Amino acid sequence: MGGLSPEREVSIVTGNSVLEAINRKGLTVLPIHVDHNIGETLKSNPIDLAFIALHGTFGEDGCIQGLLEYFKIPYTGSGVMGSALAYDKLKSKEILKFHGIPTADYEVFYKNQKTDRSLDLPVVVKPTNQGSSLGVTIVKTEGQWKPALEAAFAYSKEVIVEKFIEGKLLAIGMNEMTPMPIVHIRPKSGFYDYEAKYTPGKTEYICPADLEESEAGRCRQTAKQVFQVLRGRGFPRVDVILDNDGVPQVLEMNTIPGMTPTSLLPMAAREIGLGFDDLVVEILKTAQRDYTE
């Protein structure tokens, strides 16, 4: 838990929640706060498997997964390649487009290069490799354009700009290839930013989402496709916007969903009778490695 990214504090909340659940289940658990000495820590503290409660760079992007592979320690979440692909918003968009999976039109900008935009407003500006909506801005006026780029470039040298899509923001937790109940996310501010995600009362959640069965079916099918093409494993979460034509437009797949009091995966699990502690155990059961030699 913890880690080196700007999402460190959220990771600690997730990690502590998971730690308490494992303790309640009577299992032996060692909390490890990740820093630059993580290699030495793993050498001096042998563990059977790792529940990854890290968010952001070095935690979700394949880095810690690669280190755990080196130490031959099974871990939760996607593997090295799956983590890297899902975390990089540009690479995941390219894969989605290649497979014909609906996702918003986009273009890419690089630091200190062109800032001329081809997409009409409104657009969403975001770093290509950051989570928790850090550095993300919905741009509705020309005056917001350059400040939005600057905000995103503070987190990444590469920025993706997507056409804004009107519709319902939905989260689809996955139990391997099986979709869980869909969560409809309704931020009171209209924008699901960092504050809306992690401040109780800032967002309304409806689970299961109030959808036509045909809409829910399309969302579930899309989530399964995303899980496959982005090499999902365990219990990731696929986020989509169900547009006004009833098409699920994919935003991303989160390979290590939050496990905080306001998190979406535990909310979906409760709807199928899976309490938080049992969910943690089920996630632990999926721990594995890419390589088994």
Under 8 Å between Cβ of 5 and 59: yes
Q: Please report, for the chain, the start and end positions of each structural domain, with discontinuous segments joined by +.
A: 85-101+166-274, 106-163
- pLDDT for res 131: 64
Q: Is 245 a catalytic residue?
A: no
Q: In terms of CATH, what superfamily is 85-101+166-274?
A: ATP-grasp fold, B domain (3.30.470.20)
Q: Which amino acid is at 141?
A: T
Bridge partners (DSSP) listed for residue 169? 185, 241
- pLDDT for res 261: 66
Is the preceding peptide bond at 261 cis, omega within 30 degrees of 0? no
Q: Is 78 a catalytic residue?
A: no
CA 111, 116, 117, 123 dihedral sign is: positive
Angle at 213 (CA atoms; ends 186, 243), nearest 5 degrees: 45
* d(C-alpha 12, C-alpha 166), whole Å: 33
Q: Is 278 a catalytic residue?
A: no
Q: Is 7 a catalytic residue?
A: yes
Under 8 Å between Cβ of 229 and 101: yes
Over residues 223-264, the pLDDT tens digits come to 999 999 999 999 999 999 999 999 999 999 999 998 876 789
- pLDDT for res 132: 55
Q: Is 61 a catalytic residue?
A: no
> Could you say which of 8, 198, 215, 234 is catalytic?
198
Q: Is 79 a catalytic residue?
A: no
Q: Is 239 a catalytic residue?
A: yes
Residue 234's region, left for phi above 0, alpha for psi from -120 to 50, else beta, is left
* φ, ψ (nearest 5 deg) of residue 57: -60, 145
Q: What percentage of the chain's residues is helix, strand, coil (to nearest 5)?
A: 35, 20, 45
3-state secondary structure of 291: coil
> Could you say which of 131, 231, 258, 263 is catalytic?
258
Any idea what DSSP says for residue 34? B
Is 106-163 a domain of CATH 3.30.1490.20? yes
- pLDDT for res 293: 67
Ranges of residues in the chain whose predicted pLDDT is under 50? none
Question: The whole model's pTM is what?
Answer: 0.92
Bridge partners (DSSP) listed for residue 288? 75
